[in-house]
Every structure is written in structure tokens, then in C-alpha cells.
Amino acid sequence: MELEVQGKRAYVYTAGHAIDAKRPAVFFVHGSEQDHSAWALQSRYFAYHQRNALAPDLPGHGRSAGPPLTSIAALADWVGALADAAGFRQFALVGHSMGALLALEFAVRYPERLSKLAVLGAAVPMPVSEPLLTAAHADDHSALDMVNVWSHSPRAQLGGNTAPGMWMLGMNMRLMERQRPGVLYADFKACNEYAPAAASAARIRMPALIISGSRDRMTPAQPVGEFLAGIAQASTLTLDGTGHALMAEQPDAVLDALIDFL
């Protein structure tokens, strides 16, 4: 469906369902240079299991009007405005990578609005290497090549996808290539500059789940930074042998963890 958020058109995947105000809502937020389809399996499951599942395309990504927002704080506020437009005061929030930073920042800013928080592929801070930032700034395809290789575990580089017949690296590359010029740089810059005070994690008091991949080279699971360690009610799950593309590499394990948690 499409909603108007902060005066611009926003696309939100709901598995074709209309919003049902009587049911709780779960928002799924994608990472850099991605769109809602990064959450295809997980969001579809919840949409068919007594929830409103809303997986937006962030501003400037996929089908949502641009431009991309340039800070994690602005993205967090945008999700708040999206939830307002959809009619939800309180909801569960699930984010991956840049979407995880957005979710953490939202939890810091508006803790009363979240019933639960789940972050995947999260690292705080989330520095982006200079060569990658430079290539992204130039909209050079080498930036996508770097992201694609570093986002997948050594195992996933050879495939064996749970989704029959789908070549994971090809899918991720094509999805990134579909995003507009400048989006990757805006996303990476926002991630790179995000530096919350460690003490602010104390504001995150709702139940939280942190899922990471043991072979994540984009946002390594270890060491756990001071910020994530400061979330009081956090439980953690590390998926063995999995890279940054957690939802693609281990769709069932991610879904099972979210079903248990949410």
C-alpha cells in the first residue's frame, strides 16, 4: 500500500492486507541500498499470523519517493511518522543493518512507542571504510561489488539457497543496482556518522533481541560495543556460519527467532 509520510509518497509492503487496527503491528525496516523485499519471507509470515506486518521502502529507496534521508535520527523520525500515518501508536520494530540503527535510535527517542525491538546485523558504531564510502560517493559499481561479497558468508558465496533456484548473490546485486544513484552513499554516510552516547542505551527498556551472524564482515558480532551491551532487556542470538545477509542466508532461523520473540 502507499501512505503519505512527511508529505511524500511511501510504499509499504503488507502482503496485500489492509490495516486491521484490532491487531498488533510489526514494522520491518531494511538496510542500506535495499527495499522491503529484504524481509519478504519474514514479513509475509507475520502478515498471515494475526499481525499487521508493515515493511516500508525507506525514502528514496524502491518505490518510495526520495530523496534518501541523511541521518539515522531523521530515519527514526520518519518511521514514527509512518506509524502515525498507518494509525499505530505502539508497535514492534525489527531492523536490519542501517534499519537496525534506525530501530535503536527510535527506541532511544521514543521508548514508549515500542512494545518490542529486534535488531539484526547491528553494530554501534557502524563505521564504513573510506574506500567503500569513496566508491559509493562516486556511484561506482565497485561499491556494490564490495558490499555483495562482504555481505555474504563464505558458504553463501557458493549458494545452496533455501529459496529453490534463487542465486543469492545475484538477487542482492540486482536489488542494489535497482536503487537510485546517491542512495548508497546517503545510507552509508548516515551509518558512518551515527554515534549515540553509550548511556542513551539505558532508555531502551522494552524487550530486545539482537541477532547476528558469526561470519558477518560488514557488522562483526564481536566485540559487542558499549551501546548494545547497555540494553537492559536484550537477549542475543548468533547464527553460526552466517554473514550480514541474515534474512537471505538463514530465513527460517531468523523467522523462528522472531516468532519466539514477538
Partner 1 sequence: MAVPKSFSFDTLSLHAGQQPDPLYGARATPIYQTTSFVFKDTDQAAALFNMERAGHVYSRISNPTCAVLEERVAALEGGVGAIATASGQAALHLAIATLAGAGSHIVASRALYGGSHNLLSYTLPRFGIETTFVDPRDVDAFRVAIRPATRLVFAETLGNPGLDVLDVPRVAAVAHDAGLPLLVDSTFTTPYLMRPLELGADLVYHSATKFLGGHGVAIGGVLVDGGSFDWKASGKFPTLSQPYSGFHGMVFEEESTVAAFLLRARREGLRDFGACMSPTTAFHILQGIETLPLRMQRHIDNTRRIVAFLAAHEAVESVVYPELPSHPDHALAKQLLPKGCGAVFTFAVRGGREAGRRFIEALRLFSHLANVGDAKSLVIHPASTTHYRMDEAALRAAGIGEGTIRLSVGLEDADDLLEDLSRALHASQK
Question: Footprint of partner 1 on this chain (CB under 8 A)?
Answer: 13, 16, 35-37, 40-41, 44-45, 48, 62, 129, 131-132, 142, 145-146, 148-150, 155, 157-167, 169-171, 174-175, 177-178, 251-252, 255
How many CB atoms neighbour CB 195 within 10 A?
A: 12
Instruction: For partner 1, give the closer residue by CB, 208 or 247.
Output: 247
Identify which of residues 96 and 113 has a Cβ nearer to partner 1 in the complex. 96
Of residues 108 and 257, the one with the C-beta less far from partner 1:
257
Can you tell me which residue has the cell 540486482? 174
Q: Whole-number minimum distance, CB 211 to partner 1, in Å?
A: 17
CB of 56 to partner 1, least distance (A): 12
Choose between 208 and 239: whose C-beta lies nearer to partner 1.
239
Rank residues 37 and 71 by Cβ distance to partner 1 and give the closer one.
37
CB of residue 175 vs partner 1: minimum separation in angstroms?
Answer: 5
Helix residue ranges per DSSP H, 11-140: 40-47, 72-86, 98-109, 130-137
Q: What letters, b where the CB count within 10 A reaches 16 and e where it falls short, cover 13-41?
A: bbeebebeeeebbbbbbbbbbbbbbbbbb
191 within 8 A of 101, measured Cβ to Cβ = yes
Residue closer to partner 1 (CB basis): 155 or 232 = 155
Supply the minimum distance, in Å, between the C-beta of residue 85 and partner 1.
19
Coil vs helix vs strand at 2: strand
CB 148 within 8 A of CB 127: no
Residues 80/6, Cβ–Cβ less than 8 Å: no
- Shortest Cβ 174–partner 1 spacing (Å): 4
Taking the complex as a whole, how short is the minimal distance between the CB of residue 204 and partner 1, in angstroms?
29
Greatest Cα-to-Cα distance within the chain, rounded to the nearest angstrom: 48
Contact predicate 84/77, CB 8 Å: no
Nearer to partner 1, 198 or 255 (CB): 255
Q: Shortest distance, CB of residue 181 to partner 1, whole angstroms?
A: 16
Q: Is 7 exposed, middle or buried (0-12, 13-18, 19+ CB in 10 A)?
A: exposed
60 in the Ramachandran plot: left (φ > 0), alpha (ψ -120 to 50) or beta? Answer: left
Give the position of cell 566485540.
223
